[in-house]
Amino acid sequence: MKQLLKFTIIFLFGLNSLNAQKQVPGPAKHVVLISIDGFRPEFYKEAKWPAPNLKMMKKDGVYSDGVRGVFPSVTYPSHTTLITGAKPAKHGIFYNSPFEPEGQTGRWYWESATIKTPTLWDAVREKGGKSASFIWPVSVGAPIDYNIPEVWTLDSDYGRIAPMRNHENPEGLLAEMEENVLGKMNETNFNGDYLNREDRIGEMAAYVLENYQPDLITVHLIAADHFQHEQGREGEKVHLAISAIDRAIGKIIEAADRASILEQTAFVVTGDHGFVNIHSALKPNVWLKELGVIEDKEDRGNWTAAFHTSGASAFLHLKDASDSITLKKVEEKLNSLPLKYRKLFRVVDKSELGVIGADPHASLALAPIPGVSMSSKASGEVLISSSGGTHGYYPDFREIETGFIAWGAGVSSGKAVPKMGLEDVAPFIAHLLNLKFDAPDGVCYPGLLAEDKD
């Protein structure tokens, strides 16, 4: 009867409500950094979201009411800030896709060699430790001992699995996991349109944590982002995605328990940005075409200025960075627009871009109001309808904020931070692991660390 009661408690409340995690003063021996793409604080603060593991960690650990992101608030710059403690101006990953003067090819910032500041992966290796990473942006070739990076090719016939396999470390890691836990990976069972992708990522991290016990694991889960783009903030599939994400996190927690390292492990769950429902889109390159400084061609034709869109925002690039004449023409054009357009965005000048740590090569940026996004197209009506959700906004309002929860070894309990910055996550993890690490823009809040009462 006692065994039946124990099983019932586990089924109803989860493994970790039964085996309550002790708050062990740091340093932790293992840290699992989980990024939920499109993570919003509501997912762990509101009852309607199906996330028992997240809510357990919030209750027994520490959390933030909102985390301010970077500009633009998109995935690749944000994830690089998470593992460097630096803003884009310093770490060098300014957008998801770099601005390409001869026209956008579709390339993203995949290679870690493009990061200009030290990462947590570097610090772990310098200490003599081991790290692992699964589907983390800008991680191809990173100093990671067990790595399945997020990468694809511009050849659509090549698929998504082969590029990850080609850039894995060590060679054969994916095959090992396929044999022992995943089953054979293919475009059906590892596909962003289906929630089984989250299961596979959770199983990857769980397998490596249990069998190799690295000091640091970084994990990127994407379903919440994918379905908020498709359906907006409250879509039915978004609720299902949160359930799948929470289940993936549970797999990793259980792996730590099976390996008897749960009390030595800290879990840090955060994200890259929030989400905003959109109804319309602006095409600022139409205005540049009217000025005669860009052509409606894939390579931009004979251009002197172009808006590079990144999520909801648009960043102005000059062919010649010192071309003050073209810049003045663009500024005058923006200032002369009818109020019906000017009320839909504000101009972020170069000095403000410097303050927030955005791309230093951009001459200015357009930050739209919530509900409006930017399109890179240079033809057709300047204002068109749009739908679903997006991000990339200037990070100065609640809906675009992401979340933060920390729980486990070295973490305090019962504390909340009203606001923190994305750049503050890396130094917090560095303190948990006792790493020698300098976060250029971030700060570790000592009050979030467990106190040594000895």
Q: Is the pTM for the entire model greater than 0.75?
A: yes
Same domain, 264 and 331: no
* The predicted structure's pLDDT at residue 16: 42
Same domain, 177 and 321: no
Total number of domains in the chain: 2
**4 in a domain, yes or no?**
no
Specify the pairing of strand 372-374 against strand 280-282: parallel
**7 in a domain, yes or no?**
no
Q: What is the residue range of 133's domain?
A: 22-275+397-435
**Helices 223-231 & 236-258, crossing angle to 10 degrees?**
180
* The predicted structure's pLDDT at residue 296: 97
Same domain, 304 and 221: no
* The predicted structure's pLDDT at residue 390: 98
**442 in a domain, yes or no?**
no
Nearest C-alpha neighbor of 373 from the set 344, 330, 350: 344
Domain end call among 386, 409, 426: 386
Same domain, 284 and 213: no
* The predicted structure's pLDDT at residue 26: 57
* The predicted structure's pLDDT at residue 155: 85
Same domain, 91 and 46: yes
**36 in a domain, yes or no?**
yes
Report the b/e string of 280-292 with b at 16+ CB within 10 A. Answer: ebbbbbbbbbeee
H/E run at residue 267: strand 265-271
- 320 burial type by CB count under 10 A (0-12 exposed, 13-18 middle, 19+ buried): exposed
Same domain, 378 and 411: no
Rounded CA separation 242/422 (Å): 21
Same domain, 69 and 130: yes
Residue type at position 303: W
**15 in a domain, yes or no?**
no
Q: Is the dihedral of CA 366, 338, 371, 291 positive or negative?
A: negative
We report the CATH number of the domain holding residue 431 as 3.40.720.10
Q: Which two tokens stand for residue 298?
A: 């894939």
Same domain, 412 and 304: no
We report the CATH number of the domain holding residue 305 as 3.30.1360
Same domain, 185 and 287: no
**49 in a domain, yes or no?**
yes
Per-residue pLDDT of the chain (454 residues; tens, 9 = 90+): 344 333 333 333 344 443 444 444 557 999 999 999 999 999 999 999 999 999 999 999 999 999 999 999 999 999 999 999 999 999 999 999 999 999 999 999 999 999 999 999 999 999 999 999 999 999 999 999 999 999 999 987 778 899 999 999 999 999 999 999 999 999 999 999 999 999 999 999 999 999 999 999 999 999 999 999 999 999 999 999 999 999 999 999 999 999 999 999 999 999 999 999 999 999 999 999 999 999 999 999 999 999 999 999 999 999 999 999 999 999 999 999 999 999 999 999 999 999 999 999 999 999 999 999 999 999 999 999 999 999 999 999 999 999 999 999 999 999 999 999 999 999 999 999 999 999 999 999 999 999 865 4
Please, which residues have CB within 8 angstroms of residue 193's CB and are 6 or more apart in sequence? Answer: 226
* The predicted structure's pLDDT at residue 96: 98
* The predicted structure's pLDDT at residue 158: 78
